[in-house]
Amino acid sequence: MGPTRKPNVCRRLSRRALGCFSRDAGVVQRTNLGILRALVCQESTKFKNVWTTHSRSPIAYERGRIYFDNYRRCVSSVASEPRKLYEMPKCSKSEKIEDALLWECPVGDILPNSSDYKSSLIALTAHNWLLRISATTGKILEKIYLAHYCKFRYLSWDTPQEVIAVKSAQNRGSAVARQAGIQQPVLLYLAVFRVLPFSLVGILEINKKIFGNVTDATLSHGILIVMYSSGLVRLYSFQTIAEQAKNGIQEMDCCSLESDWIYFHPDASGRIIHVGPNQVKVLKLTEIENNSFQHQISEDFVILADRENNKNENVLTVTASGRVVKKSFNLLDDDPEQETFKIVDYEDELDLLSVVAVTQIDAEGKAHLDFHCNEYGTLLKSIPLVESWDVTYSHEVYFDRDLVLHIEQKPNRVFSCYVYQMVCNTAEEEETINRSC
């Protein structure tokens, strides 16, 4: 007989969670995830690149599924090699899916159809249709037309698994209007829908006459987040935040070409994550003393990039006469030769913040994925990504239990997907499980 194949730790823990080991199954699941978190963060654990694939169309990832050909083909990422789950029929360019979110059945709700109890993909097509697609078969379950007066392009959760925000592309105006100096007052539109079934909450117009010289806007947890080129961020509520937010305007002290971004923490703690090129701020909303109707924003913790404090760089030049001239200039906070934060995400089951930091070394960029304690921000583990990171192209990195997945765009619209899986030292793995139990 050949050598016995070592069982996958993540699958083994998932199977244990289905057994009757406790009067409360949730206790077992939490214990299992605690074990897995300890295994992920221990020093000897490595993440190995197990397979890589390339595509001529964008690649996306949602909860163990990798999507190719604009979400038309779905592949499982759990196996050690790609395994196709389904493939939808070919479609025209106008019908292609541009963005999607995974919707999972709410616990305890009575739903109208049996198919509603299974996961669905909420998808936005190029010709402004909003679809709900079965995540297991690719069958279209529901569809609704959005509008004709703008091009909707992005999907995000306002309230996770309940309310979605559909964002349009920014309105740049026609080339003739721009040459004539005519500015379009409406920057973009935000359409808000409840899911299952789709029902419109409202469409919000982001107008510069109202919000000022705004550069972008998004919606999260009922809060409208408006961003400006100066690094200024304003938070609005549809109801009462104008009268009840103190420190509602957040400004990050940074000088960079790319703007910072801000959003509510996905862990439902009510905290806010504000990300800049060299720092990640986790902010919290607290009641003002002796006034329960007003709240203020304060820092919970800050994660700083590993870089030198001196932002000035000196350059020596020699003139024709032999005189040495010293010139000093300030480096940008997102200068590629300094460690810069590119992606911040949250692994909800392991309660870890994942942060991607990139440094440009000569002509090649090197990235590493750091795991931080979600409560205190402490660095627990750092994983180097073996492939180079070209800062001029777009990247996405996902951390899902024992899996790390890196999707990048290369020149000539080639997309690559790198899948890493956790590998442990057997002796240390058994010691960790025994200690956790």
At 154 the pLDDT is: 94
**407 within domain boundaries:** no
Residue 364, CA atoms < 13 Å, CB-side half-sphere = 5
At 393 the pLDDT is: 87
43-77 per-position pLDDT tens digit: 889 999 988 999 998 899 988 899 999 999 999 88
55, burial (CB in 10 Å: exposed 0-12, middle 13-18, buried 19+): middle
**20 within domain boundaries:** yes
Total length of the chain: 437
Number of structural domains (the chain) is 1
At 357 the pLDDT is: 94
- What letter does residue 216 receive in the DSSP assignment? E
At 1 the pLDDT is: 47
At 5 the pLDDT is: 55
Closest CA to 272 of 262, 280, 260: 262
| Dist CA 437 CA 435 (whole Å) | 6
Closest CA to 398 of 376, 382, 417: 417
Q: Which two tokens stand for residue 400?
A: 């899902």
At 155 the pLDDT is: 94
Domain hosting 36: range is 10-41
Place of tokens 């439902």: 268
**18 within domain boundaries:** yes
Q: Which two tokens stand for residue 344?
A: 């911040």
| Dist CA 377 CA 318 (whole Å) | 47
CA angle 100, 106, 107 (to 5 degrees): 150
Closest CA to 5 of 369, 428, 433, 426: 426
- The answer to whether 134 and 79 have CB atoms below 8 angstroms apart is no
Q: How many CB atoms lie within 10 A of CB 311?
A: 15
Low pLDDT (below 50) residues in the chain = 1, 20, 239-244, 246-247, 329, 437
**360 within domain boundaries:** no
- The answer to whether 332 and 257 have CB atoms below 8 angstroms apart is yes
**319 within domain boundaries:** no
**126 within domain boundaries:** no
**434 within domain boundaries:** no
**14 within domain boundaries:** yes
